[in-house]
Amino acid sequence: MESSSEVSPVTPGHVAGLLGHLSRIGIGYLPMPDQAVAAALAATRSLPTESFESTDQRDAASGNIQHRSTAPDAAADEAVRKSSGGPDSGRSRSGAPPVVTGDGAASAIASGIDQPYAGPSLSPADRAARLAEIASRVAGCTTCTELACSRRSTVFGEGDPMAKICFLGEAPGQEEDASGRPFVGRSGELLTKMIEACTLSRSEVYILNVIKCRPPNNRTPDPEEVANCRSYFAEQLQIIRPDYIVCLGLVAARSLLHSDLSVGRLRGRFHRYRDSKVVVTYHPSYLLRTPNVKKEAWFDLQMLMKDYGIDLSQIGSKRPRK
């Protein structure tokens, strides 16, 4: 047996295992010591302070789905820093607890999503200009050859650049591909009702998808396509920096949170992406197919709105119906 005076080295695999375990037993957030404390702690435990860079090995250790790119969320930070001229240290809202979610906790941390949004908060006009610039890049994007060849239009997202709440879907469907607007088909009608049930309108929130092009036959986007599009949605969120992000369905939740867990395991509590609180709920198209889970989705929205300061339990008649 090891003598008690010996300190065994802590590896990223140990940390990933521990974080995964904590998440599975329901501990969603961990208080994060500041950099100096983390460095001192790491030194005493032989853990290099820069050990959480994303690598395939660490993703494998965490059992998380592999994302091809190293840290596109960090790339989005860099893009915003460059465009806003903000200093590296100009992070606006700190103090947010880091995300620890799903079995991909180490991967989530490696991606930088436990860090605050980078750069200063932009004015409404600057946000609109920056979003328009990204939209024009998206419109010309041909990274995913199959999607670029089959799409009619790219679907960037729409809504208030100052929105406090963003709704993140999966990918455009047929109607969205035809119109260039997110959530305008049948599931879009239900999403609109859900938003209105929260006493809000579509123009007060921001609606976007993980993937900006329609996958042929509405197939699920593959991990490579998600990786290719990640920097676009990360930049959008960085610019809008909403207080809340509602992940609609599994692809949105897993892509944003770097988690392997099901919607059923992720919903009903808050997660965190940078400075935003994240709510995971069922995708409207799933709700259309499985109406008996609408009550869970309604619970998730009530949880969000209560935290936001609106108690929807007082507005019983506003419950989304279809």
The alpha carbon dihedral of 56, 169, 268, 244 has a sign of: positive
Strand partners, 245: 166, 278
d(CA 213, CA 173): 9
Q: Closer to ligand URA at the Cβ: 251 or 312?
A: 251
The Cα–Cα gap between 22 and 76 comes to: 29
Q: Quick one: 23 or 187, whose CB is closer to ligand URA?
A: 187
C-alpha distances out from residue 43 to 50, 51, 240, Å: 11, 12, 37
160: which 2 tokens? 């208030």
Residues in contact with ligand URA by CB under 6 A are 155, 169-173, 176, 182-183, 185, 187-188, 209
Q: Are strands 158-159 and 244-248 parallel, antiparallel or unpaired?
A: unpaired
Query: Which amino acid would we find at residue 318?
Result: K
| 157 φ, ψ (degrees, to nearest 5) | 140, 165
- Least CB distance from residue 70 to ligand URA, whole Å? 26
DSSP string, 139-180: HT--SSHHHHHH-SS----EE-TT-SEEEEES---HHHHHHS
CB of residue 160 to ligand URA, shortest distance in Å: 17
Closer residue to ligand URA, CB minimum distance, 270 or 282: 282
Q: Give the shortest CB-196-to-ligand URA separation in angstroms.
A: 17
Q: Looking at beta carbons only, is 71 or 263 nearer to ligand URA? A: 263
Asked if 170 and 251 count as a contact pair (C-beta separation under 8 A), the reply is yes
Q: In terms of CB distance, is 209 or 259 closer to ligand URA?
A: 209
Cβ 284 to ligand URA, closest distance in Å? 7
Beta carbon of residue 173, minimum distance to ligand URA (angstroms, whole number) = 4
In the DSSP assignment, the letter for residue 29 is B
**Comparison of 54 and 187: residue with beta carbon closer to ligand URA:** 187
Cβ closest to ligand URA, residue 19 vs residue 210: 210
Q: How far is the CB of 276 from ligand URA (least distance, A)?
A: 19
* Strand ranges (E), the chain: 158-159, 165-169, 206-209, 244-248, 270-273, 276-281
- Minimum separation from the CB atom of position 290 to ligand URA (A): 15
Using CA atoms in the order 280, 212, 109, 78, what is the torsion angle rounded to 10 degrees? -140
CA–CA gap between residue 160 and residue 163 (Å, rounded): 5
Q: Which is nearer to ligand URA, 76 or 287 (CB)?
A: 287
The residue number whose beta carbon is nearest to ligand URA equals 169
The distance of closest approach from Cβ of residue 188 to ligand URA in the complex, given in angstroms and rounded to an integer, is 6
